[in-house]
């Protein structure tokens, strides 16, 4: 029986394991195993809401063991640390609980076909102090850590006298891409709710100062300039301080220092600028490692097979996949989803030794949520002829529908509808903000 091991339970990896489990595992045609260092899955585009406290992960957090049971694949807890390409085994590090007690020992897992979908991490470009004094929203754990610090800072700010013209609590966000912009708007909305739960001195315009810093000439450079300008207008209506053309050269415990000489005070700093694949990918494979680029991404061909080993595939943010026009597949959630669906169809053919049409990314546009206030975006490719700019309620609905598409891929129509109903019911009896 063919042994297919998928490392990485993000949106793409989990969707692929689910689809292959249904298509191959259920029929006994393959043993599909998903490996991840966590026990549960949270959709990564929701991390900014988790950080702000406006999203309760328990409402839809997916347990890998349950998903595996329902969809005919296996789950193994562990972190990938090495590959023996000759013996066709992956090395998994031991896992430990919060008390330092071992949960699973270091082990090896045999494969016939290996798929690497470990995603990406925030790239601080080696900026002085960034690693020590900023939080990177790479994972649910990091988002929860930020939320804990935010609530603690709000409690602390209750007893700190406010200086004239300054906020008692300042959150600085480095990076004006989708994550940074969405987090800024979400934090403003969260502050309004916090004021109703005992934090009566945390006013979103007077007592909470949100600063967004971007090195490029404008925010949301992946969107058309018109939409970028619209987003800036919305943020400034919320009294969010926006600085463009400002490169951060140092992060300290209480400030950001710019190349221009400007200094911005900060109680909490989030680094949301730039992405790269994990450093460990550079040495993956031992003496004859898999080929990577300067961002540590694994180089793959049109079938998503790594350049030095056709039995090892990679996709999503950790892979560099060329396109027929000479460009590269962008590191975006929709690309990882499309690649997962491609492999679900193509892998059985490629494993049999047949050919498969190369993967081609179809850009369906970009959407950015500004919390409850608005959304902006552009729809492209198969959805429209050319491109269509959308804002406001229509864009908010489209952003919501992307989340539903993810739920549909993992659980089908029935489960997606039940989750949606559960979310609606939760809003009637749960606080709109996480307070612990």
The number of beta carbons lying within 10 Å of the beta carbon of residue 282 is: 16
Model pLDDT, residue 195: 61
Q: Please give the radius of gyration of the chain, using alpha carbons only, rounded to the nearest integer.
A: 22
For position 50, which CATH number holds? Answer: 3.50.50.60
pLDDT-derived band at 163 (thresholds 50, 70, 90) equals low
- In this predicted structure, the answer to whether residue 264 has a pLDDT above a threshold of 60 is yes
- In this predicted structure, the answer to whether residue 325 has a pLDDT above a threshold of 80 is yes
Report whether 28 contacts 69 (CB < 8 A): no
Which 3 state secondary structure label does DSSP give 328?
strand
Model pLDDT, residue 384: 37
134 & 116 share domain:
no
- In this predicted structure, the answer to whether residue 390 has a pLDDT above a threshold of 80 is no
Lowest mean pLDDT among 70-74, 113-117, 383-387: 383-387
Model pLDDT, residue 423: 63
250 & 282 share domain:
no
Q: What is the mean pLDDT of residues 139-159?
A: 81
Instruction: Single out the residue in 351, 383, 404 at which a domain terminates.
Output: 351
pLDDT-derived band at 381 (thresholds 50, 70, 90) equals very low
Model pLDDT, residue 435: 35
Model pLDDT, residue 434: 41
Instruction: Single out the residue in 294, 326, 351 at which a domain terminates.
Output: 351
| pLDDT tens digits along 196-221 | 555 555 555 567 889 999 999 999 88
Q: What is the rounded distance in angstroms from the CA atom of residue 137 to the CA atom of residue 187?
A: 14
Model pLDDT, residue 311: 97
CA 284 to chain centre: 23
pLDDT-derived band at 420 (thresholds 50, 70, 90) equals low
Model pLDDT, residue 226: 80
Q: What percent of the chain has pLDDT over 90?
A: 50
161 & 246 share domain:
yes
DSSP 226-290: HHHHHHHHHHHHTT-EEE-S--EEEE-SSEEEETTS-EEE-SEEEE---EE--GGGGGTTTTSPP
- In this predicted structure, the answer to whether residue 425 has a pLDDT above a threshold of 60 is no
Model pLDDT, residue 367: 61
The residue count for the chain: 436
Q: Is the dihedral of CA 123, 129, 134, 139 positive or negative?
A: positive
Model pLDDT, residue 391: 44
- Check residues 379 and 60 and name the one with the higher pLDDT: 60
- Residue of 364, 362, 373 lying closest to 402 (CA atoms): 364
Domain that holds residue 158: 130-271
255 & 281 share domain:
no
pLDDT-derived band at 430 (thresholds 50, 70, 90) equals very low
- In this predicted structure, the answer to whether residue 346 has a pLDDT above a threshold of 90 is yes
Q: What is the rounded distance in angstroms from the CA atom of residue 245 to the CA atom of residue 230?
A: 18
- In this predicted structure, the answer to whether residue 378 has a pLDDT above a threshold of 50 is no
Strands 248-251 and 255-258: antiparallel
Assess if residue 218 is contained within a domain. yes
249 & 155 share domain:
yes
Report whether 284 contacts 290 (CB < 8 A): yes
- In this predicted structure, the answer to whether residue 168 has a pLDDT above a threshold of 60 is yes
Lowest mean pLDDT among 55-64, 213-222, 343-352, 362-371: 362-371
Q: What is the rounded distance in angstroms from the CA atom of residue 82 to the CA atom of residue 90?
A: 6
Instruction: Single out the residue in 351, 383, 409 at which a domain terminates.
Output: 351
pLDDT-derived band at 62 (thresholds 50, 70, 90) equals confident
pTM of the model: 0.83
Q: What is the rounded distance in angstroms from the CA atom of residue 187 to the CA atom of residue 172?
A: 11
- Check residues 114 and 49 and name the one with the higher pLDDT: 114
391 & 413 share domain:
yes
pLDDT-derived band at 313 (thresholds 50, 70, 90) equals very high
Which 3 state secondary structure label does DSSP give 433?
coil
Strands 113-116 and 309-314: parallel
> Total structural domains in the chain?
3
Residue 391 CA: distances (Å) to CA of 180, 183, 318, 378, 394: 18, 18, 31, 9, 6
Assess if residue 357 is contained within a domain. no
Beta bridge partners of 269: 172
81 & 164 share domain:
no
- In this predicted structure, the answer to whether residue 169 has a pLDDT above a threshold of 90 is no
Model pLDDT, residue 363: 78
155 & 253 share domain:
yes
- Residue of 214, 225, 188 lying closest to 373 (CA atoms): 188
Report whether 417 contacts 424 (CB < 8 A): no
DSSP 207-228: TEEEEEE-SSSSS-TTS-HHHH
Model pLDDT, residue 413: 74
262 & 336 share domain:
no
Model pLDDT, residue 429: 42
252 & 212 share domain:
yes
Assess if residue 125 is contained within a domain. no
149 & 262 share domain:
yes
């Amino acid at each position: 029986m063919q042994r297919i091991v998928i490392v990485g339970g993000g949106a793409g990896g989990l969707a692929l394991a689910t689809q292959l489990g249904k298509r191959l595992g259920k029929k006994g045609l393959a043993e599909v195993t998903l490996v991840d260092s966590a026990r549960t899955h949270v959709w990564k585009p929701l991390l900014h809401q988790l950080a702000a406290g406006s999203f309760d992960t328990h409402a839809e957090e997916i347990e890998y063991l349950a998903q595996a049971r329902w969809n005919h694949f296996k789950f193994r807890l562990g972190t990938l640390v090495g590959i023996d390409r000759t013996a066709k085994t992956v090395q998994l590090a031991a896992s430990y609980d919060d008390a330092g007690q071992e949960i699973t020992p270091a082990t090896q897992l045999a494969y016939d076909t290996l798929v690497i979908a470990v995603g990406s991490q925030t790239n601080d470009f080696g900026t002085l102090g960034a690693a020590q004094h900023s939080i990177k929203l790479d994972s649910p754990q990091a988002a929860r850590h930020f939320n804990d610090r935010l609530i603690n800072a709000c409690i602390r700010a209750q007893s700190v006298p406010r200086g004239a013209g300054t906020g008692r609590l300042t959150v600085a966000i480095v990076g004006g891409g989708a994550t940074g912009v969405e987090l800024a708007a979400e934090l403003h909305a969260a502050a309004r709710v916090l004021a109703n739960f005992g934090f009566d001195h945390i006013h979103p315009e007077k007592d909470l100062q949100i600063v967004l810093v971007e090195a490029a000439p404008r925010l949301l450079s992946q969107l058309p300039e018109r939409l970028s300008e619209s987003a800036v207008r919305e943020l400034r209506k919320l009294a969010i301080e926006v600085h463009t053309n400002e490169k951060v050269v140092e992060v300290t415990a209480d400030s950001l220092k710019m190349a221009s000489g400007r200094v911005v005070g900060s109680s909490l700093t989030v680094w949301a600028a730039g992405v790269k694949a994990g450093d460990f990918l550079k040495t993956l494979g031992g003496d004859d490692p898999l080929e990577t680029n300067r961002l540590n991404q694994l180089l793959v061909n049109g079938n998503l097979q790594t350049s030095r080993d056709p039995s090892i595939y990679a996709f999503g943010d950790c892979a560099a996949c060329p396109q027929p026009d000479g460009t590269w597949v962008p590191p975006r959630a929709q690309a990882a989803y499309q690649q997962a669906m491609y492999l679900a169809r193509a892998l059985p053919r490629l494993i049999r030794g047949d050919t498969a049409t190369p993967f081609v990314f179809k850009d369906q546009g970009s959407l950015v949520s500004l919390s409850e206030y608005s959304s902006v975006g552009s729809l492209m490719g198969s959805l429209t002829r050319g491109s269509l700019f959308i804002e406001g309620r229509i864009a908010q609905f489209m952003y919501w529908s992307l989340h539903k598409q993810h739920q549909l891929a993992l659980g089908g129509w029935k489960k997606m509808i039940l989750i949606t109903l559960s979310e609606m019911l939760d809003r009637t009896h749960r606080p709109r903000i996480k307070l612990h």
